[in-house]
Structure 1
Amino acid sequence: MNKYDICVIGGCGHVGLPLAAVFANGGKRVIINDVNENVIDLVKNCKVPFMEEGLEDLLKNTVGKTLFLSKEKKVISEAEFVIVVVGTPVDEHLNPVFSTLKKFFDEIIPFLCNGQTIILRSTLYPGLTKKLNQMLKETGKEISVCFCPERILEGRSIEELHNLPQIVSGFDQNSIKKVSDMFRIVTKDIIIVEPIEAELAKLFTNTWRYIQFAAANQFYMMAEDFGADFYKIHHAMTYNYPRTKSFPKAGFAAGPCLFKDCMQLSAFTDNTFFLGHAAMLVNEGLPNFIVSCIENKTNLSEKSVGILGMAFKSESDDIRESLSYKLKKILQIKARQVYCSDHFVKDERLIPEDELIEKSDIIIIGAPHEKYRTLNYKNKHVVDVWNMIRGKQ
């Protein structure tokens, strides 16, 4: 009899903590293993270390009852299911880094026991689930491996964990059934596929979204070059026209997943994924395009520029891979002075938005936080890629 049903390794982050809390709220005994003692202390006091709707209430319902936390690796051996939220990053040359995951498993293998099931949760390079399964077999321990990718939207994880289907894959029917039954505590819809299919489904999903954003951003740039209003065009295209209903608006396509997963898919296809490369060039090039447009209208070296919104998306405090910071670096070379503000982000270099508006000649909306719709911009020139302050057409 295991002391815990589930151990979530690295479980105090954006992926692990909501999942651990949802399982604990569903009656499972869950232990979170994390090396960050400060974050562990926060969660033990039912404080959420990042913005996530509904998570604090779940922690209040579960911490010390069905949800527990520890920095000690020995707790890994005390659970039937071990959920791993370590994925495959890409390096500075946009190549997948396998050593991170291998090093992680080398460190936890001594704590794994016969009969346990490993559930890989984060995005993996195609074929890596099979490789890890073989690696664990070579230890002589009877351990099953499943890949069950997370599919949630950061900030709405609790809602989406319950409402979205869960993809389950593995190498034997017994572990697939056990894992499927466990996830039915969270969602009624389970989709069973092969591990390689699950890996590609996750990468295809994020890359598809990234390409869609790139199409919108490319059209935005084209409209600007023609002196046309992209959002009037967008309204004309999408209003009561079902075939363009899902066409996104322009804006920074960033964050910890979309760019990375697109590059992983490119590496998997021996860098012949030209559509993905084109999407990357468009999305990553949008900050440069914005600066070039400003330079065409004014002498930027004489202007102070403010960036409103430094998170990678709206209503978030997450700055990972935020293009607002890339925009800041470009402007620090081009402009006389650069100011930045974001009421969600903890960064001592940021200033309040009213001070930014007062000091800036030009204001760029970097992240479309709802608050920015109603600010008094004092007739300053505002660059609004997101169409925030004009409202819907």
Structure 2
Amino acid sequence: MQAHQFRRDAVIIGGCGRVGLPLGIALASRGLTVTLYDINATAVDTVNAGVMPFAEEGADPLLAEVTAAGRLVATTDPASVGSAEHLIVVVGTPVDEHLNPDLGAVPRALEQCVEHLAPGQLVILRSTVYPGVTALTEKLLSSKGLAVDVAFCPERIAEGKALTELFDLPQIVAARTPEVTARAEKFFRNLTDQIVPLEPEEAELAKLFTNTWRYIKFATANQFWMMANDFGLDFARIRHAITFDYPRAADLPMPGFAAGPCLFKDTMQLAAFNRNNFVLGHSAMLINEGLPLYLVSRLESRFDLSSMTVGVLGMAFKGGSDDPRESLAYKLRKILLLKARETLCTDPYISDERFTPLEEVLERADLLVIASPHPEYRDLDTERPVIDMWGITRQGVLV
């Protein structure tokens, strides 16, 4: 089948999620016709109504525009995957309870609709995958007798900044042959002129290295913060001194919960790839995942938590986000439920029946902990003690 016989330019598997939907909107905003295939019927209906199912900066007006124009449609019909020349796979690639990667997430997503794939399609893997999954996908599709091309072109966006970064950041493109690389490059030039070609296995590692590097940097900052705390010193002052007009230390982050759906998971995928011989990655995991317990232990040394109501401010995995996935604020909540008389949680972006309005938390709590650095917490009007490891209140980070 030739490209001109396809009805649409692109179809995205998992298209109504936090990676697939911004990509679909971006492509449609550049004039392409895009179908979003998703098994979540509620999200499909929401998108087709021109409404964002989650927060993404700048997305609301664009989604309304491209859906009204018919350039972006969502569906639960698996037959839709054969309607476009470019089939983009965006599905979650988790690790299991033993921290082992799920190698079959992408192949399973394709197998469920493989009967609808069409000859001549370019299958683009967009999810972060364990090294070798691109080759595994190629073998799967070949075993089905499908004459399709496969490329691995990892997403590189920061959640909430997709509709800026999809156009501004270079796109890594990887395929087995120059011809397939050229097809993928031509497609992504609809978004950006900066293309970086790699071999598939190189690109798979490049994405894991990127997320792991960020995770390790956050762990370094968190370890430094704990060291300073243990000696009664304010890490914010120390960090300011070493980063002020000193470019070699400019990328040292502030401390905080390093979590979310990618960084921890991809660090563990990289560890598994290296036969679990990854001392640096595992050390980063112990530091970052241990931070809630460390924070509570510091609070216990200063306060009688058993007699106090503690307010946890922010439950998203990062500031300004409505995404609670893998947020360490929930681990903090679990520990405080054992230690404090009462624990109240609040978040301006996340709707949860367990949460309490901020005004009530400020009134009832004896102690406040900023667990997610939402901008709404920068200028808190309260006389209660505020624990702010992020430094957003500009009062120091000594706990």
Q: List aligned pairs for 1:152-301, cutoff 5 A.
A: 152-301=157-306
Q: Within 2, Cα distance between the matches of 1:96 and 1:293?
A: 34
Describe the shift of the 1:235–1:228 C-alpha distance in structure 2 as closer, same or farther (beyond 3 A). same
Q: CA deviation at 1:349?
A: 1.0
Distance 2:314 2:193 in 1: 37
Show the counterpart of 1:68. Answer: 73
Question: TM-score, normalising length from structure 2?
Answer: 0.96
Per-residue CA shift, 1:354-373, capped at 9, x if unaligned? 21011111110000011111
Structure 1 position 234, deviation (Å): 0.7
SS in 2 for 1:374: coil
Q: How does 1:75-86 map to 2 (within 5 A)?
A: 75-86=80-91
Q: Is the 8 A contact 1:87 1:124 kept in 2?
A: no
Relative distance call for 1:294 and 1:392 in structure 2 (3 A) is closer
| Alpha-carbon separation, structure 1, partners of 2:379 and 2:124 | 45
Residue 48 (structure 2) aligned to one of 23, 44, 48: 44
Structure 2 CA distance, aligned partners of 1:92 and 1:190? 36
Contact 2:237 2:396 in 1 (8 A): no
Which sections of structure 2, spanning at least 5 residues, go unmatched? none
Aligned-pair distance for 1:202? 0.3
* In structure 2, distance between residues paired with 1:160 and 1:92: 32
- Tell me how far 1:353 sits from its aligned partner: 1.1
Instruction: Name the structure 2 match of 1:3.
Output: 7
User: Which whole-Å CA distance do the structure 2 matches of 1:99 and 1:322 have between them?
Assistant: 25
Q: Distance in 1 between matches of 2:37 and 2:102?
A: 23
**1:28 and 2:6 matched:** no
- Give, in whole Å, the separation in 2 of the partners of 1:22 and 1:365: 34
- Cα separation, 2, equivalents of 1:298 and 1:327: 16
Kindly provide the CA deviation profile for residues 73-92 of structure 1, in whole angstroms up to 9, marking residues without a partner as x.
Answer: 11111111100002421001
1:168–1:190 Cα contact (<8 Å) kept: yes
Q: Which amino acid aligns with 1:175?
A: V
Deviation string 1:106-161 (CA, Å, 9 cap, x unpaired) is: 21211112111100001000011011111111111111110000000100100000
Contact residue 261 and residue 325 of structure 2 kept, 8 A:
yes
Q: Contact 2:79 / 2:113 at 8 angstroms: preserved in 1? A: no
Equivalent residues of 2:388, 2:396 under 8 A apart: no
1:364 aligns with 2:369: yes
Equivalent AA in structure 2 for residue 376 of structure 1: D
Select which of 312, 318, 324 maps to 2:323.
318
Aligned length: 392
Contact persistence 2:379–2:393 (CA under 8 A) = yes
Structure 1 counterpart SS, 2:276: coil
The residue number in structure 1 matching 2:94 is 89
Tell me if structure 2 keeps the 8 A contact 1:144–1:171: no
Conserved 8 A contact 1:213-1:253: yes
Structure 1, unaligned runs of 5 or more: none
1:45-92 CA-partner distances (Å, limit 9, x unpaired): 111011101111111221142111211011111111100002421001
Q: What CA deviation, in whole Å up to 9, does each residue of 1:151-208 have, x standing for no partner?
A: 0010010000000000000112222111101111101100000000100000000000
Partner of 2:388: 384
Distance in 1 of aligned mates of 2:240 and 2:33: 50
- Aligned residue for 1:117? 122
In structure 1, C-alpha distance between the alignment counterparts of 2:107 and 2:187, rounded to whole Å: 26
2:333 aligns with 328
Specify the code of the residue in structure 1 equivalent to 2:301: N
Q: Secondary structure at the match of 2:22?
A: helix
Task: Give the Cα–Cα distance (whole angstroms) in 2 for the partners of residues 392 and 156 of structure 1.
Answer: 28
Deviation at 1:101, TM superposition (A): 2.8
Identity score, percent: 49
Shift of 1:326: 0.6
- Partner residue of 2:379 out of 374, 379, 387: 374
**Where do 4+ consecutive residues of structure 1 move more than 3 Å?**
none
| Between 51-60 and 116-125, the greater mean CA deviation after superposition | 51-60
TM-score (norm 1): 0.98
Which amino acid is 1:343 matched to? P
Shift of 1:298: 2.1
The question of 1:339 aligning with 2:344 is answered yes
Once residues 265 and 28 of structure 2 are traced to their aligned partners in structure 1, the CA distance between those partners, rounded to angstroms, is 31
CA contact (8 A) 2:309 2:364 kept: yes
